[in-house]
Amino acid sequence: MEAAAVPAHMIGEKAGILAEDFDLTAVVDVEPLPPVVTSDDVVGSKEGKNQNGGEIVLGRNVHTECLEVTEPDANDEFTGDREAYMASVLARYRKTLVERTKHHLGYPYNLDFDYGALGQLQHFSINNLGDPFIESNYGVHSRQFEVGVLDWFARLWEIEKSEYWGYMTNCGTEGNLHGILVGREVFPDGILYASRESHYSVFKAARMYRMECVKIDCLISGEIDCADFKIKLLANKDKPAIINVNIGTTVKGAVDDLDLVIQTLEESGFTHDRFYIHCDGALFGLMMPFVKRAPKVTFKKPIGSVSVSGHKFVGCPMPCGVQITRMEHINTLSRNVEYLASRDATIMGSRNGHAPIFLWYTLNRKGYIGFRKEVQKCLRNAHYLKDRLLDAGISAMLNELSSTVVFERPRDEEFVRRWQLACQGNIAHVVVMPNVTIEKLDDFLNELTEKRSTWYQDGQVQPPCIAADVGNENCACAQHK
């Protein structure tokens, strides 16, 4: 076969993108290749209002740049044109991933992992459908790895093997959906209480399950306001309480005071048999056990369930999570399924059997000592970022038990998208994860201060006052600095 000419834009892109033995001259330009998405491709749309009355900026409509699936030509099997085209598409996509990973700061994902040793398992369709503790007739599963991971988390949260039930979820949202569902099954007429800073999946659960939901006010830190919580509990003393406790809120990384929540319930006349507590520990639920003087999340306290994400602090190429609850509670939810020869007690039916192996691999490699070192590094780097922002005259806040640095929202949406910052109203945040180095933070800070000098250079526009979000002492606006 005579190879087609190499498109000009592909020349010189072999290094770091294609395999050593990939024949660059075999790339056939039979269809237009997708453009490499760079930091400059940051057009957004606006829809709706945020909590401060400003416009909510949405991302681009992906339909305008989707990769169409087309039927193979009759002679593709012989010419190899389609294989060459798909190889070139994937090569350019990999280049995009490398570029976007370099500028990722706003979302709590640990991108520093290497699972090359597990590549040998990607040829198998591993499915842990059904209960992780009861083997299904489907034999290609990884339950032995999953239960090993669950036992590790059970030890972390201090509950005996015989007293817990759990499973590996597809994400943190599924953990919240399951924990709140168990609470609803234990107390069918219960009211769901959640702070306004809770993850959106908590309020999604309330809508899905048709539950009455009461939102609780928050302190400046983002922590639940137990004074407001008590007022709303006393207004509904006739119904059981189902409470979502945040072990690190989405935007500010605030940790709700679990002991104070329990004390507030007791003082309001709720005995332990009239409330169910679900702890949403998506990110910080795995970090807090390794922080000195941090309060403990433990089943020795009257909690019903805890969930964490596996792809956040641990790091995993696919979203996943862990949900642990008490054995006594799961029996109200589970049903035997003859078709599976197993028990149905999970949200999803089929479940990713590769994810437990990834987590088992990392937990074995790092262990408690490795995680403790990574947590200390994250907290140290988060303090570095907060101090540098304040030194530059930029409003910033860092909660005591958190690696989430909150600061004034950049004026330029292109800058926001370049660094993939999460924003809400007048604030944005950086989540300092194990893959976020001092060098990366310096690059971000240097670019932010340079851009900021142009945003406010003429004095006609002033940096926003975010005292209502971070407190007067952390606000560097003209009024508070």
Q: Residues with Cβ < 8 Å from 456, sequence gap 6 or more?
A: 462, 463
Above 90 in pLDDT, residue 185? yes
316: which DSSP letter?
A: -
Q: Write the DSSP assignment of 254-314 as a string of letters.
A: -B--HHHHHHHHHHTT--GGGEEEEEE-TTTTTTGGGSTTPPP--TTSS--EEEEESIIII
pLDDT band at 28 (very low <50, low <70, confident <90, very high): very low
Residues 356 and 402 occupy one common structural domain: no
Residues 386 and 278 occupy one common structural domain: no
pLDDT band at 385 (very low <50, low <70, confident <90, very high): very high
Percent of the chain with pLDDT over 90: 74
Domain end point (choices 346, 365, 384): 365
Do 95 and 301 meet the contact criterion of CB atoms below 8 Å apart?
no
Listed range (7-16, 361-370, 397-406) with the worst mean pLDDT:
7-16
Above 90 in pLDDT, residue 239? yes
pLDDT band at 8 (very low <50, low <70, confident <90, very high): very low
Cα–Cα distances in Å, from 132 out to 109, 205, 343, 456?
A: 26, 23, 9, 56
In this predicted structure, what is the pLDDT of residue 459? Answer: 76
Domain of 425? 367-456+463-474
Residue predicted with more confidence, 15 or 214: 214
In this predicted structure, what is the pLDDT of residue 47? Answer: 57
Do 186 and 272 meet the contact criterion of CB atoms below 8 Å apart?
no
The C-alpha atoms of residue 93 and residue 36 are separated, in whole angstroms, by: 7
In this predicted structure, what is the pLDDT of residue 10? Answer: 39
Residues 146 and 214 occupy one common structural domain: yes
Q: What is the mean pLDDT of the chain?
A: 88
Residues 450-478 pLDDT 10s: 999 999 987 788 899 999 999 999 999 98
Say if residue 249 is exposed, middle or buried (CB neighbours under 10 Å; 0-12, 13-18, 19+). buried
Identify the three-state secondary structure at position 408. Answer: strand
Above 50 in pLDDT, residue 124? yes
Domain end point (choices 365, 382, 405): 365
Residues 424 and 358 occupy one common structural domain: no
Residues 150 and 210 occupy one common structural domain: yes
Q: Find the CATH number of the domain harbouring 287.
A: 3.40.640.10
Residues 323 and 377 occupy one common structural domain: no
Domain end point (choices 333, 365, 397): 365
| Cα dihedral: 70, 75, 81, 82 (round 10) | 30
Residues 348 and 385 occupy one common structural domain: no
pLDDT band at 341 (very low <50, low <70, confident <90, very high): confident
78 located within any domain: no
Residues 344 and 427 occupy one common structural domain: no
Q: What one-letter code names the amino acid at 357?
A: I
Residues 338 and 376 occupy one common structural domain: no
Task: Enter the pTM of the model.
Answer: 0.86
> What is the total count of domains within the chain?
2
Above 50 in pLDDT, residue 312? yes
97 located within any domain: no
Q: What is the mean pLDDT of residues 280-309?
A: 94
Above 50 in pLDDT, residue 9? no
Above 80 in pLDDT, residue 445? yes
Cross-strand pairs, 424:
427
344 located within any domain: yes
In this predicted structure, what is the pLDDT of residue 457? Answer: 84
In this predicted structure, what is the pLDDT of residue 30? Answer: 43
Q: Find the CATH number of the domain harbouring 400.
A: 3.90.1150.10
Residues 413 and 336 occupy one common structural domain: no
pLDDT band at 178 (very low <50, low <70, confident <90, very high): very high
Residues 351 and 396 occupy one common structural domain: no
129 located within any domain: no
The C-alpha atoms of residue 430 and residue 441 are separated, in whole angstroms, by: 10
352 located within any domain: yes
334 is catalytic: no
137 located within any domain: no
The C-alpha atoms of residue 448 and residue 455 are separated, in whole angstroms, by: 10
Q: What is the mean pLDDT of residues 410-437?
A: 95
Residues 206 and 354 occupy one common structural domain: yes
Tokens 């990722």 map to which residue? 104
Question: Which one of the listed residues 136, 221, 309, 402 is annotated catalytic?
Answer: 402
